[in-house]
Amino acid sequence: MNSATSPTETPPPPGNDGRSAVSGKAVRPGDRIFLGLSRGSGIALLVIMAAIAVFLTYRSVLAISGDKANFFTTLDWNATGMEPKFGIAVLAFGTVVSSVVAMVIAVPVAVGIALFISHYAPRKLSSPLGYVIDLLAAVPSIIYGLWGALFLVPHLTGLYSWLDSYLGWTGIFSYGGGAARSLFTVGILLAIMVLPIVTSVSREVFLQVPRMHEEAALALGATRWEVIRMSVLPFGRSGVISASMLGLGRALGETMAVATVLSPSFLINTSLLDPGGGTFAQNIASKFSEADSFGQDALIASGLVLFVITLLVNGAARLIIARRKEYSGAAA
């Protein structure tokens, strides 16, 4: 009988990763322990997320069940008293608008800084600049909030007047005077806060571009910008999307900085420069300590909406990245 088909043949040795070459299962004790820890960590994360969702859903049902509130369309927030009336219309509008303003400002600037650090700046400049960008991500949000309230707000009136002069006819940038404590100011502050996150991730993605791709483009006579446009940006597009979603996640859930700068009011303003507005996180932080049991349930219900929005945003980002990979694989 051929030795290749002999029933007494010894099993093949495990591969370099500690797994059997046939079954793919870990056979070394260390690999089994690591596999168990990795699997347990993944299961624990799913359990924690499910527990959070169940807790938020249970407390939310207590608040919005029955005829106590028209939760999704009511503009007021009065979750105390015998006849509570509260809704998330203003909070959803303020959260989405301020986050969109932040991403519109932050993403182009962050991508430009990342490209400068990775492809334009000399090494003596790129390393310190990258360190400063990383350091900005470690600044506590309350520091950003104090800086925004004491420095940014007083110095934005000139910009508001300029926007009103040239773009006030749109209705979005009409300015009637007063303190610049508006959703647009919050958006600028959030853009500064998410800038280090988007920049750091984008920079690392751009540094992973295969050197041969860039050298091939240069050999064909491409300029530096053409190399970036044809090689770097297409390669790093999914990474930039991931970085943007990370920044958007922080913008959606930012609390202390927004609460310090924004003048809360339950009005949906057509102009971004009008004072007032509110966000989910800011409203929860400012009202949770003074709320009764029912009021806390109502605030938790608004937190559940923010939780769902964050999950949807991250899920959409994963779908976009997956489609980009499928498209890239098909093109290759």
Backbone angles phi, psi at 182, to 5 degrees: -130, 175
Q: Give the pLDDT score at 21.
A: 47
Q: Domain spanning 47-326: which superfamily?
A: MetI-like (1.10.3720.10)
Backbone angles phi, psi at 78, to 5 degrees: -135, 85
Q: Give the pLDDT score at 329.
A: 54
- Where helices occur in the chain by DSSP H, the ranges are 29-64, 89-115, 123-136, 141-147, 157-167, 183-207, 211-219, 224-227, 233-253, 256-261, 280-287, 293-331
Tokens representing 287 are 């009202």
Tokens representing 204 are 């690392």
Backbone angles phi, psi at 93, to 5 degrees: -60, -50
Q: Give the pLDDT score at 4.
A: 47
Q: What is the distance between the alpha carbons of residues 4 and 8, in angstroms, rounded to a whole number?
A: 10
Contact between 274 and 94 under an 8 Å Cβ cutoff? The reply is: no
Contact between 22 and 269 under an 8 Å Cβ cutoff? The reply is: no
What's the pTM? 0.83
Q: Classify 92 as helix, strand or coil.
A: helix
Q: Give the pLDDT score at 66.
A: 58
Q: Give the pLDDT score at 18.
A: 52
Q: Give the pLDDT score at 100.
A: 93
Q: Give the pLDDT score at 3.
A: 46
- Which residues does the chain have with pLDDT short of 50? 1-6, 21-22
